[in-house]
Amino acid sequence: MSRTIYSGLFICEGTSDQPLAEIIEALFVERGVDIRLSHPDFSLLPKVAKDVKSRVRAGIELLGGSVEVIIVHRDADGAGPDTRRLEINRAVESVYGAATTVPVIPVRMTEAWLLLDEQAIRRVAGNPRGRSEIQLPSRGQVESVADPKQLLQRCLIQAADCTGRRRDQVAKRFNEQRRQLLRQIDYSGSIKDLPSWRQLIADIDAAVAVLAPYDGG
């Protein structure tokens, strides 16, 4: 007997965050539930505001049908994870309350999740055997870094260990490097101990219990 495939909508802050959808799908599959997340192309509509409610509404419109799961990625930034969580849940409820909602809320930014794997940073920087010092925060400090995006950019340049034109080229590749790091997240590594990641896992487990209490649990 074939397993049910659930339809979902994935809303993220920027295009470089889209690999998060693959991560979410994989985490659901690990729990015995198959979901297929659609990434809406907002350029197909007149200008769409960046607030969660507007994006969810536009995403549903573009899909032209019902979805069972809505995944919303929103960095905590200075607002904090609780505020973001409330914002996401209220927005989805007001637009499409029939769907199961899974907030994805890195603290403070998605880049914090990417500062935990030194070897991945060295690989993506193009210098996997490099020995130059990379000033990474400890696992316990990473969610307290004021600007993890800036720190990740600096660490990638340090890892590349180059100067002049080559250094400038590395700096210009940041969005692609960030995308590669997202795809290489080690679910069984240090990230599993971060409060924001543990919350994501708890939300996925709760969604599985709603969607497929027998198939997934």
Q: What is the DSSP string of 132-190?
A: S---PPPTTTGGG-S-HHHHHHHHHHHHHT--HHHHHHHHHTHHHHHHHHHHT--TTSG
Q: Is 203 within the bounds of a domain?
A: yes
The answer on 32 and 122 residing in a single domain is: no
The answer on 206 and 102 residing in a single domain is: yes
The answer on 94 and 10 residing in a single domain is: yes
The answer on 103 and 18 residing in a single domain is: yes
Q: Is 74 within the bounds of a domain?
A: yes
The answer on 119 and 60 residing in a single domain is: no
Q: Is 188 within the bounds of a domain?
A: no
* Tokens of residue 59, six digits: 């995403």
The answer on 206 and 150 residing in a single domain is: no
pTM of the model: 0.92
For 73, the 3-state DSSP assignment is strand
In angstroms, the CA 59 to CA 51 distance is 12
The answer on 78 and 15 residing in a single domain is: yes
In angstroms, the CA 215 to CA 217 distance is 6
The answer on 46 and 78 residing in a single domain is: yes
Mean pLDDT by 10 residues, the chain (217 residues): 86 91 96 94 89 95 91 95 97 95 97 96 95 92 96 96 86 94 93 97 97 66
pLDDT value for 214: 62
**CATH code of residue 91:** 3.40.50
Q: Is 117 within the bounds of a domain?
A: yes
Q: Is 92 within the bounds of a domain?
A: yes
Q: Is 64 within the bounds of a domain?
A: yes
The answer on 91 and 18 residing in a single domain is: yes
In angstroms, the CA 102 to CA 147 distance is 25
Q: Which amino acid is at 204?
A: I
Q: Is 216 within the bounds of a domain?
A: no
Containing structural domain, residue 160: 110-183
pLDDT value for 178: 96
pLDDT value for 2: 65
The answer on 198 and 100 residing in a single domain is: yes
Domain count, the chain: 2
The answer on 148 and 101 residing in a single domain is: no
The answer on 60 and 43 residing in a single domain is: yes
